[in-house]
């Protein structure tokens, strides 16, 4: 669905995007690419049914459909408890719907409350990004909340719904950790794998202090190269952003490496021993009486799958 059709949809029901304190809701189908490949043309009917279920839940709680792209919904609510009620209603509807046995659909959802700042016909700002990152960290069937939303809705949860504290997590592209809460819904699954945060894999990656602007193509290229090759080198004159690009790529790739991703500062390493010491420090490898740091690093890495930046 295009941005234009979303604007037309809002106009048709005489709704404008609210401003002020807004609770943002993002949803999407987990594993949608796999479903498309497996189901082919059959996927269209499932997607249409999914859209009907989500839109019905939004409408019941007066949520505004900001945009829809593929299997993803972005909605806004002036009322935080209503946003939670819509998400719970949608999950219950998706779980109760009779999907084909080989095409069970599971939807992940994330909510965050913040400033509803408009730019044209859409919301912009860090609060929107935070809501999107919280949703992306979840699993199919799971609803995640920011601490800001939890504080707003804790005393007004729908019947049969409780809050579970998942702790603080670092999320991609966000400078500060976020305390994440899960909505536990009676009669629906409440046990999920660890959320997809930067803390889900061992790492020491620096948190970016700003967004990576204008380097989308380069970032995608680096990510693809790392997935294809064991060694990738970024070259260029000083100050062109090689380190920032490499760190951004590492954040995107950390989930690919079961033993984590680690940043090694080599700017002061002038010889082989200094390089080994820097790598050992990043990995937590210590020198022993029967081996030096370089040997220790080799032993540590021998049976591990990890990314060194």
Neighbours of 169 (CB within 10 A): 21
What's the confidence (pLDDT) of residue 1?
A: 43
The class of domain 3-194 in CATH terms is: alpha beta
Residue 95 in tokens = 């779980």
CA distance 107 to 140: 5
Both tokens assigned to 90: 């949608």
Rounded to whole angstroms, the Cα distance separating 253 from 273 reads 28
Element (H, E) at 10: helix 3-12
pLDDT of residue 224: 86
Domain locations in the chain? 3-194, 216-308
Closest CA to 49 of 23, 29, 74: 29
Q: What is the pLDDT along the chain (309 residues), one digit of tens a residue?
A: 444 466 555 554 446 899 999 999 999 999 998 899 999 999 999 999 999 999 999 999 999 999 999 999 999 999 999 999 999 999 999 999 999 888 889 999 999 999 999 998 899 999 999 999 999 999 999 999 999 999 999 999 999 999 999 998 888 777 788 999 999 999 999 999 889 887 767 888 887 666 677 777 888 888 889 988 999 999 988 888 888 888 888 877 877 788 888 999 888 888 888 898 999 998 888 888 778 888 989 989 988 899 998
Q: Which of 156, 153, 149 is nearest to 131 (CA)?
A: 149
Composition of the chain by helix, strand, coil, percent to 5: 40, 20, 40
Rounded to whole angstroms, what are the CA distances from 115 to 36, 122, 135, 162? 35, 13, 18, 26
Are 66 and 143 in contact, with CB atoms under 8 Å apart? no
- Residue 234 corresponds to which tokens in the numbers above? 């970024």
The 10 Å Cβ neighbour count of residue 231 is 7
């Amino acid at each position: 669905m295009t941005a234009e059709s979303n604007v037309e949809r809002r106009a048709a029901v005489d709704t404008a995007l609210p401003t002020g304190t807004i609770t943002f809701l993002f949803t999407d189908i987990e594993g949608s690419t796999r479903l498309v490949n497996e189901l082919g043309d059959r996927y269209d009917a499932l997607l249409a049914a999914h859209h009907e279920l989500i839109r019905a839940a939004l409408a019941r709680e007066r949520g505004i459909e900001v945009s829809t792209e593929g299997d993803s919904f972005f909605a806004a609510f002036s009322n935080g408890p209503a946003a939670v009620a819509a998400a719970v209603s949608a999950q219950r509807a998706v779980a109760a719907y009779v999907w084909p046995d080989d095409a069970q659909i599971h939807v992940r959802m994330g909510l965050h409350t913040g400033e509803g700042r408009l730019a044209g016909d859409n919301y912009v700002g860090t609060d929107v990004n935070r809501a999107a990152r919280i949703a992306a960290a979840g699993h199919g069937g799971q609803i995640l909340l920011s601490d800001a939303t939890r504080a707003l809705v804790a005393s007004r949860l729908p019947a049969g719904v409780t809050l579970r504290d998942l702790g603080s997590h670092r999320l991609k592209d966000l400078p500060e950790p976020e305390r994440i809460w899960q909505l536990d819904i009676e009669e629906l699954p409440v046990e999920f794998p660890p959320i997809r945060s930067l803390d889900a894999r061992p790492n020491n990656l620096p948190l970016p202090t700003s967004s990576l602007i204008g380097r989308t193509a380069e970032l995608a290229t680096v990510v693809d190269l790392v997935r294809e090759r064991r060694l990738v080198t970024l070259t260029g004159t000083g100050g062109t952003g090689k380190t920032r690009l490499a760190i951004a790529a590492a954040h995107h790739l950390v989930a690919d490496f079961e033993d984590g991703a680690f940043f090694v500062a080599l700017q002061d390493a002038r010889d082989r021993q200094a390089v080994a010491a820097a790598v050992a420090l990043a990995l937590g490898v210590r020198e022993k009486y029967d081996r030096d740091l370089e040997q220790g690093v080799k032993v540590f890495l021998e049976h591990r799958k990890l990314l060194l930046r």
